[in-house]
Amino acid sequence: MSLSITHLGSGSSGNSTLLMTENTRILVDQGFSGKKLEKKLASMGIEVETIDAVFISHHHGDHGGGAGICQRKWNLQVYCNERTAQELDLDFQKTTLFNSLDLIQINDDICVLPVPVPHSGSENVGFVVSHDGERCAVITDLGSFTNELIQHVRGCEHISIEANYDERRLRLGPYPQSLKDRITGSGGHLSNDQTGEFLQRVVTEQTRSITLTHLSQRNNAPHLAESTVLYYIDEIFEGDIFISGKNGPEFTHFIGKNRGEKEKSGILIL
């Protein structure tokens, strides 16, 4: 069986990623309104009520702002750390709290490992998800990367990670210096070059697909993010690289096993 990874949308207007097997459906982050989430999932023929779990990386509105509506309207179970639950005012009866590096099993089908990442004003985590012997990583909103994160992400078959800004565009752009300093700080966001440096350390021959997420509309562009990242990994990466924007779902990556044989990473354009 395979695991599919579909970004429902990525950016400052909202983030959510659907991970799905034959038996299990989980969301990583939910930064959309209830109506927008319904619409995005309906475009894939999926009802929100069929989601098994919602994992929230941190409390910032574009990642966790829609978690509460998932509990109130659809009675979905939300998984997050304690600070995130408190900041989002979640219903603790419908919330499963985790600590960083707790291994969480969903339906005997998917394992989720939250790994701490630096991001200002929050206790943020990235997620490494395992299914049928293969792994994918969904990581966003981090200003730097740690050896611990490298250790857990290295060799993942699929990696989704932010490439937020182009250094030159941000430096010459109209943002006040205080905001520029916050974005470029160790708890801010990754530049295209930083993302390339991280991927250079974690991509192996097992890595078959990459999605770049959370691109700044003002301070980045898809061609800049992709070309910069490929500069760092061109000699070690032979898979597919895609850009996730705010208007997802647009494509789906597949990893895993099918009919007893390993299948190559597949991409379905929606």
Write out pLDDT tens, residues 6-20: 999 999 999 999 999
Burial label for 216, CB within 10 Å (0-12, 13-18, 19+), is buried
3-state secondary structure of 199: helix
Q: What is the chain's pLDDT, residue by residue, as a tens digit (270 residues)?
A: 799 999 999 999 999 999 999 999 999 999 999 999 999 999 999 999 999 999 999 999 999 999 999 999 999 999 999 999 999 999 999 999 999 999 999 999 999 999 999 888 789 999 999 999 999 999 989 999 999 999 999 999 999 999 999 999 999 999 999 999 999 998 899 999 999 999 999 999 999 999 999 999 999 999 999 999 999 999 999 999 999 999 999 999 999 865 344 444 567 777
pLDDT at 258: 53
Nearest-angstrom CA–CA distance, 163 and 198: 11
Look at residue 262 in the predicted model and tell me its pLDDT: 40
Q: Both tokens of residue 212?
A: 């770049």
CA distances from 15 to 32, 89, 94, 132, 251 (A): 7, 19, 21, 26, 15
Q: What angle separates helix 222-233 from helix 192-202, to the nearest 10 degrees?
A: 30
First-residue to last-residue Cα distance in the chain = 20
pLDDT in tens, 192-240: 999 999 999 999 999 999 999 999 999 999 999 999 999 999 999 999 9
Domains in the chain (CATH in brackets) are 2-269 (3.60.15.10)
For residue 228 the two structure tokens come to 């910069």
Which amino acid is residue 64, in one-letter code?
A: G
pLDDT in the model for residue 88: 97
Query: Of 257, 234, 230, nearest to 242 (Cα)?
Result: 230
- Name which of 160, 130, 161 is nearest 257 in CA terms: 130
**Residue written as token pair 């990556």:** 253
Instruction: Identify the pLDDT of residue 257.
Output: 61
Q: How far is CA 213 from the centre of its chain?
A: 8
Q: What is the pLDDT of residue 224?
A: 98
The CA-atom distances, in angstroms, between 110 and each of 2, 25, 34, 103 are 11, 9, 25, 10
CB neighbour class for 100 (10 Å; exposed up to 12, middle 13-18, buried from 19) = middle
Rounded to whole angstroms, the Cα distance separating 267 from 4 reads: 9
**Tokens linked to 261:** 């044989």
Side chain identity at residue 112, one-letter code: V
Q: How many other C-beta atoms are found inside a 10 Å radius of the C-beta of residue 240?
A: 16
User: Who contacts 192 (Cβ-Cβ below 8 Å, separation ≥6)?
Assistant: 163, 165, 166, 167, 220, 224, 225, 228, 229
120 alpha carbon, distance to own chain's centre: 17
Asked if residues 57 and 125 have their Cβ atoms less than 8 Å apart, the reply is yes
CB 236 within 8 A of CB 204: yes
